[in-house]
Structure formats: C-alpha cells, structure tokens
Structure 1
Amino acid sequence: LYDKSKVTDLIKEKDGYTATINNKYTIKTNKVIMACHYPFLVPDNLYFAKIYQSKSYTIAFKTDLKLKANYLSLDKPYYYLRTYDDNTLLIGGSDHYTGINIDIEECYNTLAAKVYKLDKHAKITHKWSREDCIVIDSLPYVGEYSKKHKNIILVTGFQKWGFTNSHVAAQNVLKILLNEKHNNLYKTSRCTLIRSPKNTCRMVLHSIDGLLISKLLLKKANIENIMIGSGKAIREGTKTILVYRESEDKFIYLENKCTHMGCSLIWNDIEKVWESKCHGSIFDPYGRVIQGPANQDLYKI
C-alpha cells in the first residue's frame, strides 16, 4: 500500500492497463478500481456531462450547547447541525455550483447566524469549504467505467453521503470483482441524462458559461489595480489570461484554460485559489493543481 502516489495517466494496453504515477513511475495491472473524487479519463462515457461538483461550507464552534441528535434541515439550500465532541458544534451547508461568483463570506455568515440563534456566546474556531461530486440523478456510480473500459470499476458521486454510500459501493465492487450478482441500481450505463432533464439543462448551461460565455465577456483590466495576494482573469488582446499579484512588482501569468477540459477559471479571494467554472478543479495561485478532475498544472505564460 503506497500513499502520495498520484495517478496522472491511465493507458489501456492489450493485456490490461498501465498507470503513470506522479508523472514518473508506471504500474501494470489487469483491473483498476477508480474510487476517486471525480473521474479523470476524458471524454469517455460523457461523465463530464453527468457529474457536477457542489461546494459547501462548514463552521466549527466552541459551545456549551448539547444536541441530542444530528439534524438536517428541509430548507433550500439545506444545512445540518451535529456535534463533534463534548463542546464542539459543526454546522454546514450554503451549497452552490462550483466556479461561480458568489460572496463566500456571506455563505459563512448565513450559517453562523443560525448557530448564534441557539447560543449567542458560541465562538468560531475553524471554517472550511469542500467540494462533493453529484450525479445529476442523485445516485452514485458504481460499476464498469464504460464499454471500452470494462476492467475499470468506477466509484464516484456519493452526493455528500460518503459514510453510507461507501459501504454500499464497497460491497458492490467486491461482487463485481468476483463476478457475483450485484445491485444494478448504481450501474454507470443507466440513462442519467434522460431521467433528470431539469438538472441536465442546468448543468449544460453551466458548462457553456465556463467554456465559452465567461471568456467572451471578460474585459481588459489594468493589472496594477490587482491587490497584492489576489488574482483576476482578464482579456489580453484576443486571449484571456489569469494574473496573480505576488508582490508590488511581481505578477504570475497563466493560461485561462483548465487542464481538464479547457474551461475558464475564476479567482477565489477567500481561499486564494483558482477554481474551474465547469467541473470544480482547483489550482493554487501559481497554477499547481490542488484538486481534480484536472491532474496537470495550469500552463504558464
């Protein structure tokens, strides 16, 4: 068992697959279990059109408030409350599509206000965000990656219910490997796009915005107006570029093109990262990939 072994490429051979690790080493295998955050083989089986990433926020509080259970609201967007230990309360929610312009501080403030109604003396200790993969019909994918890649077993799309869905997925994966009868409810070949037309349309529009519209709408800007420690996507002639201001006289220039599928990126000034507008890839200010589906750094200019 090896950790810190990032798979950067997966090539099908006559007798199986060759996985490239950290752009340096290779591993040969007959079967692959792709239990990942987001499938990174493109464009096979159109997963980029069936899975989207939802961003949500969590705040930890120190409080004397005691909850008797875990709670999930019926509000839209929903939020949840649960305890972590004797005096730590967690609240999470404020979900939205990744890669959109939104007031992140307001997302946190909305959640915090709900806790202060219960305990006005509660104190914030930590705040963080996360992204979760969601299949547009709200069921996970567990099964053959595609007709072309039957020996790759895909496991993804837990829709924020990882503890529950991972147990079901593990049982299904074992049965698939042993050629035993398994639950087809989560099969990857189901007609996801037809079953959820509303979500499909919303996702298509979101992708069109990231691939085309947002780039067309970008305007020229004076980079001197960018604050130190901040970034901005701007137009430079016929192209759009990403600019990060490291110091008073040092700027970092990157292509405004996610290495996953070429989507536009936006600057997240709270977390100091670049985020893809389509599929949720995250890069640090210098273009180094932090989270997939992209597995290569942004190109420098």
Structure 2
Amino acid sequence: MNTFQSDTKSLWRDLEMDSFPALSENMNADVTVIGSGITGITAAYSLVKQGYKVVMIEAGRLIEGTTGHTTAKITSQHGVNYDYFIDTFGEDNAKRYYEANEEALKFIESVIKEHNISCDFSRQDAYIYSTTDKGDETLQKEAKAYETLGIDGGLTDSIPLPFPVTSALKMNGQAHFHPVKYLLPLVAYLKENNTPIFENTRAVDIIKGEQPKVLTESGHSVTSKYVVMATHYPFKDFERGFFARQHIERSYSIAVKTTDIPEGMYINAEEPKRSIRYTMNEDGEKLLIIGGEGHPTGQHENPLESYNTLYSYAEEHFGVSDVPYRWSSQDIMTLDMMPYIGPVNDKDTNIFMATGFAKWGMTNGTAASLIISDLISGNENRYADLFTPDRFHPGEDTKNALKENATVGKEFFKGKFNRKDAELDELGRGEGALVQADKEKAGAYKDLDGNLNLVKPTCTHMGCDLAWNNAERSWDCPCHGSRFEPDGSVIEGPATKPLEKLDD
C-alpha cells in the first residue's frame, strides 16, 4: 500500500500563471467582483463584455481555491438529486435546475469556441453506477425522475468500467475539461479590456448603500454600484444566518497512471462516494482521476489517510504505476441542496452572493455568474427565482437546520475541553497538534526546518476550536469550515482575521 506524506499538488495548478499586484489604493468601479474562481472570473468576463467597468479582487492567488482543486466535470448529473428535487421543489423547478446547468455547459463550450481555447474540453457521457440492491432501487427512482423531466439519458446495461456493477444511469452528452486552462484566456480577456485584477487582497467587510464599499485587509477599498461575492463561502452574512443554512465538506482526489482508463465520467450511488474520470497531462499522457472520501471539514482525525484509501481503491480496480498528483477541495451544501444565487436580501439588491454548489461548481458556478450578470444588467433570467437566497422550505429546511446546528454546537463545546493531542516535545518535523504550552492550549506546528509555530487554536469567525489537518498542514474549523495556515494566516473563509500568535 502506498503511504502518502506531504505535499499535495493539484494537476490543474501545475502550470505557469501570471501574478497580479495587491490593491494599493482606493478605487471606484461599476462592479466589484470578490473571488477569482469560475464564478468570479465568468461574472467579470460577462459584465466586461457588456461594457461594465469591473474590479476583481482575490484573497490569495487566482484560481487557487475550489476551482483549482476540482474534478472538473461539466455536467448536469449531480449524483442522485432529481428525484429529491421533484419531491422538494416540484417538477417545474427540478427541470429548471437541469436546464440551468445544461445552459451553463453550452455557455462554456461557446466561450471555448469563441476564443479558440485549448483546455482539453471533451464531450463525455456521465454515469451513476450501483453495486448494491439499495443502490439499484435508488437509481430506479432517479431514472423515473429523468423520464418525468425529459432528461437526455436513462438506465443502461452497458458501462465501460473494469469492474462489475449492478445497474447504471446514464446522462448523455456531458463534458470535462482543464478548468485553469479554460479560465486563463478569460483572465487575459479581462486584462486586454483594462480590468484591474488584484491578488493577495482579502475583502474583510462590505459597507452597504447605494454605492457599496468593499473594505480590504490592507485598509484600501473599492466602491462600486454593485458587488458580487464569489468567495465560495460568503464572508459577510448580512444578518441572514447563512452560517446556519449550509455545511462544509472536504473531499480528496488523486491522479494516477494506469493502463486501464475508460472513457466517460462516473460516480457511484452509494457511500463512500467514488468519482472517476480521465484527463491528459502536459505530455499528452492519460491520467485517471479518482475522487471521494468526503467528510465535514475539521471532523476527521486523520485526513491524510483519505489519500491512502483512494490509492487502495485505484490499485484494486485499475492498477497503479504512479501517483503524480493529489489534492483536496472544500465544498458547500445548502440545507435543500440548491445553490444560493442572487441578492443577499430584498433590501440590498445591489450586493450579490453565489454559494452552495454542492461539489458541482463547474456548471452551477457558471450558471450563477450568468444569473448575476443578467440581474445587474437588468435582463430577465428565468432561473433567478429558483436559486434566490430568500427561499425557505419549512419542513425540510427546519429539519436540516436543526441537524446542522446540533452538529455545530457539539463541535463548539467539544473543543472547549482542555484537551491535547500530543506533547510539545514529541512533535516531529512537518507535524502539527494541539498541545499545552505554558498551561495554555496551543496549536503547534514544527516546520521541515525545525522551526516552531504556536497559535491560539480558536477560529476568528465564531470562536470554535480548530483541528489539525495533516493532509494539508492547516488548522481547520469544524463549525463553519474556515482554514488557516500553520502561522495563523487565513486560507479559506468565512473567517477574515488571522489566528492569534503565541510565544514559543
């Protein structure tokens, strides 16, 4: 069995990229876009094409968040969801969800053709497969939902995987691509059209008004008519309780060299989830991407083991000669599994959010950018009401909210006990743990040179105690998913402030 150590590296991020300066002055624009994943870049691109003056700011580097750590399937087959959507939202709304994602796929393909983008785009059929009787029953129900909604696909007896399955549900004509290669030409388009882009510029607040002002960590600001929060997790809640209306998961991917690489895209109906697709490396060699092992952020005692589990699965079913890439990602699920896209509330209609893509951000994120672009430009969009953050479904939302907040409460109070994971002098190089330092609980990390970092292991968002992530060498919040570097700097929100450093 392969035993992974650090470090992780995303296949999609393994290429040369331009860097951009940090914001160093106050600016004005028509639209401020916060975030540079597929949602933020596509929104900026769409708005600039319509003549809007856009400023785009990014807390870290461009495309280094979830978009840079995805499995990059462009599909409307989002696991087993259409039977549930019909029950929860009705047939018309379930069909509109499908159509919104299909339009997003077509938009991506049209942009690729318009700009002659080489990004390994390939039309592929997508499959959900089962290996159990229970999974078969689930796929039978989902197949009926496909038929009801007129989805192009259905049950099939033929599936090109090298292991037996008991049933499979096919969706025709989906696609996959290289997301960074797709987005970099859009960034180039923004540059050519004099769109200011700033990296290492973390937004920390939004001041509401007719001209909302985005405040950044450095003290500089951008004032504009509209603001788009394309930050994956909204860092500003606007008293809407979004933190209680969604939950966060991490999942893992490996790209392996193997001789048995099938066409198509796959995900299973059962748990644990396994996502399968192929891609190409820079030498034109096929690699097989296998993803899965999802868990709530900060609630896995040994995240590094997730990679080993995926490796064992790949070795058992395909055979593995090498694992050149492995990476992990963070995803957000809303209470009803439908994204929140649109104005943050009915009063601040010039501030928009897009979140909760439930691991399917290539199409949902693109759909979000098109919806928000239409809302800003005053064009009608037939999907806007479907995804509105104002929606609430009393039965399902209340049940899921109680469950999610019970989990958050459990994690909050569990961390307040005076526990430790290791003795400070036991830490090896590259290791982190909760320790006692001068009678105080501390988050300790010893880097590869033997230098020690001590931080207060309490999330700066809402005070939950953090857990060490040995797969990514980060401090992760089990309550709302914020993540921090060993030195305390913020990796992912909703937190905007770094951890307090302690004397070592």
Structure 2 length normalisation: TM-score? 0.55
Does the 8 Å CA contact 1:54/1:97 hold for their aligned counterparts?
yes
CA RMSD in angstroms comes to: 2.5
Does the 8 Å CA contact 1:54/1:98 hold for their aligned counterparts?
yes
Question: Structure 1 residues 84, 234: closer, same or farther in 2, change over 3 A?
Answer: same
What CA deviation, in whole Å up to 9, does each residue of 1:150-177 have, x standing for no partner?
A: 2111111111111211232123212321
Q: Which residue of 2 aligns with 1:164?
A: 363
Q: Which residue of 1 aligns with 2:481?
A: 280
- Correspondences of 1:1-301 after superposition (within 5 Å): 1=195, 2-4=197-199, 6-42=201-237, 44-85=239-280, 86-182=285-381, 183=383, 184-191=385-392, 194-216=395-417, 218-219=419-420, 222-234=423-435, 240-246=441-447, 251-301=452-502
CA distance in 2, matches of 1:120, 1:11: 51
Greater share of residues in helix: 2
- 1:73 is displaced (CA, Å) by 0.9
Moved over 6 A (4+): none
What letter corresponds to residue 268 of structure 2 in structure 1?
S
CA distance in 2, matches of 1:216, 1:118: 43
What CA deviation, in whole Å up to 9, does each residue of 1:78-100 have, x standing for no partner?
A: 11110002421000011110011
Q: Secondary structure at the match of 2:198?
A: coil
CA distance in 1, matches of 2:287, 2:422: 45
Q: Which residue of 1 aligns with 2:126?
A: none
CA distance in 1, matches of 2:209, 2:397: 37
Q: Secondary structure at the match of 1:30?
A: strand
- 1:147 is displaced (CA, Å) by 3.7
Question: Structure 1 residues 42, 259: closer, same or farther in 2, change over 3 A?
Answer: farther
Q: Secondary structure at the match of 1:271?
A: coil
What CA deviation, in whole Å up to 9, does each residue of 1:243-270 have, x standing for no partner?
A: 2334898543222221222211011123
Does the 8 Å CA contact 2:421/2:433 hold for their aligned counterparts?
no
Does the 8 Å CA contact 1:61/1:88 hold for their aligned counterparts?
yes
- 1:197 is displaced (CA, Å) by 4.4
Question: Structure 1 residues 173, 119: closer, same or farther in 2, change over 3 A?
Answer: same
Mean CA deviation greater in 282-291 or 116-125? 116-125
What letter corresponds to residue 371 of structure 2 in structure 1?
N
Does the 8 Å CA contact 2:247/2:334 hold for their aligned counterparts?
yes
- 1:227 is displaced (CA, Å) by 2.8
CA distance in 1, matches of 2:292, 2:299: 16
What letter corresponds to residue 366 of structure 2 in structure 1?
H
What CA deviation, in whole Å up to 9, does each residue of 1:49-69 have, x standing for no partner?
A: 112211000000112223121
Q: How many residues align?
A: 301
Question: Structure 1 residues 32, 223: closer, same or farther in 2, change over 3 A?
Answer: same
Mean CA deviation greater in 134-143 or 201-210? 201-210
Does the 8 Å CA contact 1:136/1:192 hold for their aligned counterparts?
no
CA distance in 2, matches of 1:214, 1:193: 31
Does the 8 Å CA contact 1:8/1:296 hold for their aligned counterparts?
no
Mean CA deviation greater in 54-63 or 244-253? 244-253
Structure 1 length normalisation: TM-score? 0.89
Greater share of residues in strand: 1
Does the 8 Å CA contact 1:139/1:157 hold for their aligned counterparts?
yes
List gaps (5 residues or longer) in structure 2: 1-194
List gaps (5 residues or longer) in structure 1: none
Q: Secondary structure at the match of 1:27?
A: strand
CA distance in 2, matches of 1:115, 1:280: 28
Does the 8 Å CA contact 2:256/2:320 hold for their aligned counterparts?
no
CA distance in 2, matches of 1:79, 1:206: 25
Larger radius of gyration, structure 1 or 2? 2
Question: Structure 1 residues 88, 38: closer, same or farther in 2, change over 3 A?
Answer: same
